Amino acid sequence: MSFVMGWSLYCFAAALSALLFGFLVKNRGRTFKSTTKLPPGTMGWPFLGETLQLYSHDPNIFFAAKQKRYGEIFKTHLLGCPCIMLASPEAARFVLMNQAHLFKPTYPKSKELMIGPNAIFFHQGDYHARLRKLVQGALSPEVIRSIVPDIEAIALPLLDSWDGRVINTFLEMKKYTFDVGILSIFGSLDLHYKEELKKNYCVVDQGYNSFPNKIPGTLYRNAVQARKELSKILGTIISERREKAMEKKKLLGSLLLSRDGNGEPLSDEQISDNIIGVLFAAQDTTASVLTWVLKYLVDNPKLLEAVRAEHVAIQEANENARNSVTWAQTRNAMPLTSKVISETLRMASILSFTFREAIADVEYKGYLIPKGWKVMPLFRNIHHNPDFFPDPHRFDPSRFQVPPKLNTFLPFGTGAHACPGNELAKLEMLILLHHLVTNFGWEVVGPRHGIQYCPFPIPKDGLLARFHKDPAIQDHKNSNQ
């Protein structure tokens, strides 16, 4: 056995042992008084549960096979934790909305440390409600409509840099979504600060899903150090903004001006944690969706031409790009593109599931969900259920000509912890796609099939593709000038 493989297995076993020990200590001496039965399912091997089965196959196949065998509610044991899986719209609504007070958000401590324990998605109650109102307000349509030209100013030079090159589409999209995230948080920002934030954030991003340890030079240890640097940089920016009261309409300004019922402001640490949390929530997810959109468009040439025609018409109305795309056009003149994005969100299901933990014994449809067990609404299983989306594995944007049934389409989650930045995500996708399809063609040069998880699902190898200015598009634009 190689050293690398041996070390990997050692780390994996150590992680599972630590998780299992924590669970046993937490539940020591506890018995369930309820006579309600547990859901059907299997718990796998002692200690290991079914973790190896999950990660040795496509996770989506694992969950789909479980649902086919046991139905829409089943039990399993993953990463040292007993889990209840829920794969119906009613169950998702039960956990995330109707009885949300009985299920708390839960994340590994290593993730909380990396993002910051004060970040919005680790909390419930008054603090969470206060932060959600601030984030949602700063990213509302009324606010982000004013930054359309600024998003274009980010998209255009990035696209120009792709001309004639083979790129990793996902990594390039991450550059774009990071810069849009910085814009929405800070507004204008000194280039030095922006570069320092990007440099350290990239290190944190690389170590976020690595094995937690204190060994110097490892991805995780480097990420912890970079996270400390991020706090210092953000602390400096926060101090400057407090003094100058700049960019009040952006997220940072909203966080700085906020006061609780006692007139107390948010601390610098609370503000920093939530800035990093918003960046984490905004970057990889939106970049993943954009990467999948390009994959599905290149796989469906007729659809790509229809999308291109939609945007050429907008460009002609704007005097062949002498005028910028407008907010109204992103809302009203891109119906097909919006359906393509919705179908991509359904097919790819970037947010495949979410984690909650039962804070009390809960009964659901005659089954017991024990206190302390993890509860996972499976969004992807719902999105791929043929009862809600006929022929679910076929990419078909026309299915969104009719709104989906209630709680069957949950790409941004639902309830109090639903993504507050979904309007910004849609806007930045529409703007980039407008300028991409009206100027560029592209061909996939890497694998055309396969999925990898980073941790979100993306096309294999990030969709390696060659981009080029399309002469046919340019000729069409010139003939109309």
DSSP letters, 193-262, are HHHHHHHHHHHHHHHTTSPP---TTSHHHHHHHHHHHHHHHHHHHHHHHHHHT--TTSHHHHHHH-B-TT
Using alpha carbons only, what angle is made at residue 446 by residues 443 and 448, rounded to the nearest 5 degrees? 80
Nearest CA-CA partner of 282 in 423, 129, 421: 421
* CA–CA distances in Å: residue 49 to residues 21, 375, 464: 14, 16, 36
Torsion 109-114-116-120 (CA) sign? negative
Distance CA 423, CA 410 (A): 14
Cβ(394)–Cβ(112) under 8 Å? no
pLDDT confidence of residue 248? 66
**Rounded to 5 degrees, what are φ and ψ at 463?**
60, 80
Q: Side chain identity at 111, as an amino acid letter?
A: K
pLDDT confidence of residue 245? 63
Tell me which of 3.40.50.1100, 3.30.43.20, 3.30.110.70, 3.40.50.300 is the CATH number of domain 1-109+353-383.
Answer: 3.30.43.20
Cβ(433)–Cβ(311) under 8 Å? yes
Q: Side chain identity at 305, as an amino acid letter?
A: E
pLDDT confidence of residue 35? 61
CB neighbours of residue 471 within 10 Å: 9
DSSP-derived pairing of the beta strands 356-358 and 374-377:
antiparallel
pLDDT confidence of residue 111? 84
DSSP bridge pairs for 163: 467
pLDDT confidence of residue 60? 82
Which of 17-31, 48-62, 303-317 is predicted least confidently? 17-31
pLDDT confidence of residue 321? 64
pLDDT confidence of residue 477? 54
Q: Which one is predicted more confidently, 117 or 22?
A: 117
**Confidence check: pLDDT of 11 > 70:** no
For 245-302, the pLDDT digits (tens) are 655 678 999 999 999 999 999 999 999 999 999 999 889 999 999 999 999 999 999 9
**Confidence check: pLDDT of 13 > 60:** no
pLDDT confidence of residue 14? 43
Query: What is the helix (H) or strand (E) element at residue 443, kind and residue range?
Result: strand 440-444
pLDDT confidence of residue 478? 55
The mean predicted confidence, pLDDT, of the chain is 88
For 344-387, the pLDDT digits (tens) are 999 999 988 888 999 999 999 999 999 999 999 999 999 999 99
Instruction: List, in order, residues 6 or more apart from 388 with CB less than 8 Å away.
Output: 89, 382, 404, 405, 408
pLDDT confidence of residue 351? 87
Nearest CA-CA partner of 201 in 172, 175, 165, 230: 230
83 assigned to a ligand binding site: no
Which of 53-62, 120-129, 432-441 has the highest mean predicted lDDT (pLDDT)? 432-441
Supply the pTM of this predicted model. 0.88
Q: Which one is predicted more confidently, 157 or 81?
A: 157
3-state secondary structure of 389: coil
pLDDT confidence of residue 6? 38
First-to-last CA distance in the chain? 67
**Confidence check: pLDDT of 32 > 60:** no
Distance CA 62, CA 54 (A): 6
